[in-house]
Structure 1
Amino acid sequence: MTNKRRYEDRLVDERRLRTYLASELGDTETFAVEWHQEGHSNETLFVTWGDRELVLRRPPPGETADTAHDVGREFRVMDALQRTDVPVPPTVLYCEDDSIIGGEFYLMERVDGDVVRLDEPERLATPEHRTELGHELVDSLAAIHALDFESVGLGEFGRPEGYLDRQVDRWRKQMQWAAGRTERPEGLPGRDEVESWLEANVPDSPEHTLVHGDYKLDNVILAPGTPPEIGAIVDWELCTLGAPLSDLGWMLLFWHDDPDDEPPIPELMPSFTAREGYPTRRELAARYEEQSGIAVDHSTFYLALATYKLAAVCEMFYARHLAGDSDDPLYAAMDEGTPRLVAYAESVIEGSEGW
């Protein structure tokens, strides 16, 4: 039996899942589970239940850092956003009993459309549609930040005061957790300098809003057809109340606009957004400011924080690879990927990268 098969078997006990779903949704003769391997954080499985196409989300098996992979949080926020202007998949149920499949999980309806990762859909490959896609992405982010979170029951969803200080501390601890398991002989050159700069340069954030925490192009589902339209925003596990520009910095980290260079992690960060028609980072930031009414200040800090956050995430990926708790080839590549991100964070701070 291959390692791949053994890892997949750890994701779900199909017999127990079927029994549980029959008790919650009513029995059916049609049941199938398929592991979706495109994501890199929580595990996603497609579940056919009668004539319903569902998506199951669960944490990865094995040891994870504290607060990572919080699918219960992800379910709660999507459930609260069901009847708002923020598009999310219809939620079905949440199960915190880890005896069913070996971990907590939730189910949502599957939304038809495209998740754009490393290349654009052919139907959008015109300068006009590329511009519209960039605008749609920014406008949907502005809609998240404009939401009256109190009115949907998310007023106690986070502690916005001190959010940025806690973000710096949180991702430093996540990096520390991962680095303690990867035990690189030479460490991560530049890591201490980046951490010190972030701690010393946390800006004030006069605004606080609902923040997605992982908002980027491959965490939206583009509805079929043209012009481009976002059918659903997914991956809300890091959602909280905090500084909205942290979302903008994260989104722009994954928006490449230099045709003469490649992003630090080509396996995660698409380069096609440098093609004709796509707005630049600077243009997207200007549109966000116009749509949200929030001044885009301290761009160096927000981009450096986003880069360091991604470096911590990638080092956690690498730790899971070394522990045998992932079958994702991307995780092994973070042996070299994390150091490149730390170096990129240094270049952001030094002013050679940004928006």
Structure 2
Amino acid sequence: MAEADDYFERLVDVDKLQAFLEEELGPTDSYSVERHEGGNSNETLTVEWGDREFIIRRPPPGETADTAHDVLREYEVMSALQGTDVPLPETIVGCDDHDIIGSDFYVMERVPGDVPRAGVPERFQTPEGRQKVGEELVDTLAKINQVDVEAVGLEDFGYPEGYTERQVDRWHEQLEWAFEVTREEREVPALDRVGEWLSENTPEEYPHTLVHGDYKHDNVMFAPGTPPRLNAVLDWEMSTLGDPFFDLGWMLSYWRDAKDPEPVLPELVTRFMEHEDFPTRQELVARWEERTGLDYDNDRFYRTLAVYKLAGLGEMFFRRHLEGNADNPMYPKMRERVPALADRAERIIEGEEPL
């Protein structure tokens, strides 16, 4: 309990935060702050402010600001998308004054609903409800990829030219960093082959659109009630201007069909969508193509890239475990899980795990 209290105090100075919020929102008769335990990147705090509830997003304590923890970038894109067809919480204020809670942070309204991590809520467990969940997921991705970036002021939000090539290079570099340590335990030659294939098969041309960067079923929220209605897209920290097919391939890499082999990362895989009432990957792609007017012609490349990225993350976890820099019980399992992911990537390349 003492360690938890100490960590919470590193996340927020409740008195300074109260003074800041009073300036922005006016005084309140009741105020409390709690840490949300979920998530693996930025920290999330829940604030009760009278009869209102807010969410605060900030980087982990001690981290320097980089792309993975740039919460004000997240605030920028979410604020720009207010009033568009993309469902989002209302943003309230961003702050770069580290004297308040020790880091950049932003405040947004708390949205009620359910994130389908372990499965969809009981109220959606009908054939129509399951179908609608998949449709809402892919339709919302299409809305993101169709945003008029100039109209919302995001035309300089990233560098779409070369986005996909940079993704391949970045995850090759991340793997090489991890291999500096993990190769002493075991090698993963399949990942070298996958990396070479990706470099040789990177599409030369692709549309330039807004991309979420981490769009999948457990980064969205569904509103209370029925029928299923997606009311918030969460975790925008990797968003930029780039290749919309990357977003689609990433989402598809998490969406399982009944025909799929056993998952190679059971700790991180949800299997509810294997039920016959949910749309298949092929049906999701067809619907996304219909909504966007784009043709998803390089599925093997984009799903392979998604699995390559997952393998890169896993190998980085494994290095941290070997160096004694993490106590997450999942990290040592990457000794076997990463080679299994590499094998999966090769199966996608060979057409053995088709769309």
Asked if these proteins are the same fold (TM beyond 0.5), I'd say yes
Tell me the CA shift for residue 150 of structure 1.
0.7
Q: 1:314 to 1:49 in 2, by over 3 A?
A: farther
Change in 2 beyond 3 A, CA 1:211/1:26: same
Tell me, in whole angstroms, the C-alpha distance in 2 between the residues paired with 1:2 and 1:187.
Answer: 40
2:215/2:251 contact within 8 Å kept: yes
Query: Which residue in 2 is equivalent to 1:14?
Result: 14
Is the Cα contact below 8 Å between 2:119 and 2:272 reproduced in 1? yes
Distance 2:27 2:292 in 1: 46
Give structure 1 stretches of 5+ with no counterpart: none
Partner of 1:104: 104
Residue 191 of structure 2 is aligned to residue 191 of structure 1: yes
Task: Give deviations 1:110-164, integer Å, cap 9, x for gaps.
Answer: 0011001022211111122111111111111111111111100001111111111
Counterpart position of 1:127: 127
Percent sequence identity over matched residues? 55
| CA shift for structure 1 position 342 | 2.8
1:163 matched residue in structure 2: 163
Note the 1:1-355 alignment, pairs <5 A: 1=1, 3-63=3-63, 66-180=66-180, 185-258=185-258, 261-318=261-318, 329-331=329-331, 333-355=333-355
Question: What is the Cα deviation at residue 326 of structure 1?
Answer: 6.5
**25 and 252 in structure 1: CA distance in 2 versus 1, 3 angstrom threshold:** same
Deviation at 1:46, TM superposition (A): 1.0
> How many residues are paired up?
355
Instruction: Report the AA paired with residue 78 of structure 1.
Output: M
CA contact 1:87–1:232 (8 Å) conserved in 2: yes
Q: Select between 199-208 and 288-297 the one with higher mean Cα deviation.
A: 199-208
Instruction: Give the Cα–Cα distance (whole angstroms) in 1 for the partners of residues 90 and 81 of structure 2.
Output: 9
Alignment deviations for residues 208-254 of structure 1 (CA, whole Å, 9 cap, x no partner): 11111111111111011111111011111111111111110000111
Residue type of the alignment partner of 2:290: E
Structure scoring higher RCO (CA < 8 A, sep ≥ 6) equals 1
Could you tell me how far apart the structure 2 residues matched to 1:308 and 1:30 are?
48
Tell me which moved more, 265-274 or 185-194.
Answer: 185-194
Whole-angstrom CA distance in 2 between matches of 1:294 and 1:248: 11
Q: How far apart, CA to CA, are the structure 2 residues paired with 1:219 and 1:99?
A: 30
- Is the Cα contact below 8 Å between 2:260 and 2:353 reproduced in 1? no
Q: 1:258: how far off?
A: 2.9
Counterpart-to-counterpart distance in 1, 2:162 and 2:103: 32
| Paired letter, 1:143 | K
In terms of mean alpha carbon deviation, does 205-214 or 242-251 score higher?
Answer: 205-214
Q: 1:193 to 1:62 in 2, by over 3 A?
A: farther
Mapped to 2, the partners of 1:326 and 1:95 lie a distance apart of: 30
Q: How far does the alpha carbon of each residue in 1:5-51 deviate from its partner, in whole angstroms, 9 at most, with x for none?
A: 54444332323323332333333342212221222222212111222
- 8 Å Cα contact 1:62-1:325 kept in structure 2: no
53-62 or 331-340, larger mean C-alpha shift:
331-340
- In the TM superposition, what is the alpha-carbon distance from 1:314 to its structure 2 partner? 3.5
1: CA distance between counterparts of 2:29 and 2:328? 32
Distance in 2 separating the partners of 1:65 and 1:324? 23
Q: What is the one-letter code of the residue matched to 1:225?
A: G
Relative distance call for 1:240 and 1:184 in structure 2 (3 A) is: farther
2: CA distance, partners of 1:132 / 1:115: 15
Offset of 1:94 from its aligned partner?
Answer: 1.1
TM-score by length of 2: 0.91
The aligned amino acid for 1:106 is Y
Q: How many angstroms does 1:189 deviate by?
A: 4.2
Q: Structure 2 unaligned runs (5+)? A: none
Whole-Å separation in 1 of the counterparts to 2:95 and 2:105: 5
| Cα distance change of structure 1 residues 320 and 154 upon mapping to structure 2, 3 Å threshold | farther
Per the alignment, do residues 315 and 260 of structure 1 end up closer, same or farther by CA in structure 2, a change over 3 Å counting?
closer
Residue 193 of structure 1 deviates from its aligned partner by 1.8
* SS of residue in 2 equivalent to 1:278: coil
User: What CA distance in whole angstroms lies between the structure 2 residues aligned with 1:3 and 1:285?
Assistant: 46
